[in-house]
Amino acid sequence: MMRILVIEDEPRLQRNLAKALREEGYAVDTASDGDDGALKAADHDYDAIVLDVMLPKLDGWGVLAQLRATKRTPVLLLTARDSSSDRVRGLDTGADDYLVKPFDLAELLARVRALIRRSNGQPKPELILGDVVINLPTRLVSRAGVAVTLTAREFAILEYLALHRGEVVTRSALYEHLFDENEDTLSNLLDVHIFSIRKKLGRDLITTRRGQGYCIEA
């Protein structure tokens, strides 16, 4: 399971952030001041950190500087105002992305997902799922040693599920990641692709979790 640290001193926002992230399936730790946050960030290897700039004891810049001395954990910075100097400073100091308060929770979740995806950007070239082998750089897929031809979309769905194996990927997450917002997608299109992948690679590769989404078992 992916683990996220939220460093935010405003209780209500911290609670809302933690709740929203947990609903997305992340494990969430929280810290209410910079000292505690820096300590936790040093102690655990989080998949991502959501870091407020204005914090008691040690501000977000201080937390970021301490963290960057030892770790590359992806950091999403929450800045209080739309000040371009804050943004530049954030990215200079080693933040990976930033959001200006107030922000939309859905936007934050999307940014966190993108950060984690990017930080996992150098996966092993081959993913082995039973008798199915996915070569990521060449985008070649084989089953029991025999090459299988997937469409680009099928490959994208398979790749995404495989990179998140062991997790249930919601339909909306798949749509968000794989379909351009300008594309006019029918809600059942995903099922068509999944059906086709199963036909080519075996029925058991992708599990349907009714009402939740899809999963490739770890």
CA distances (Å), origin 195, targets 127, 133, 144, 163, 181: 21, 19, 19, 19, 23
The residue among 56 and 130 lying less far from Ca ion, judged by its C-beta, is 56
Which residues, listed in sequence order, are joined to residue 97 by a DSSP beta bridge? Answer: 76
Which residues contact Ca ion by CB under 5 A?
A: 9, 52, 54
Q: Whose Cβ is closer to Ca ion: residue 37's or residue 213's?
A: 37
State in angstroms the smallest separation of the CB of 39 from Ca ion.
18
Q: How far is the CB of 58 from Ca ion (least distance, A)?
A: 12
DSSP 99: E
When the beta carbons of 31 and 194 are compared against Ca ion, the nearer one is 31
Least distance from Ca ion to the Cβ atom of residue 79, Å: 10
Indicate the helix (H) or strand (E) that contains 30. strand 27-31
Strand partners, 184: none
For Ca ion, the closer of residues 57 and 198 by Cβ is 57
Residue 149: closest CA among 193, 216, 201, 194: 201
CB of 6 to Ca ion, least distance (A): 12
**Measured between alpha carbons, how far is 189 from 80 in angstroms, rounded to an integer?**
40
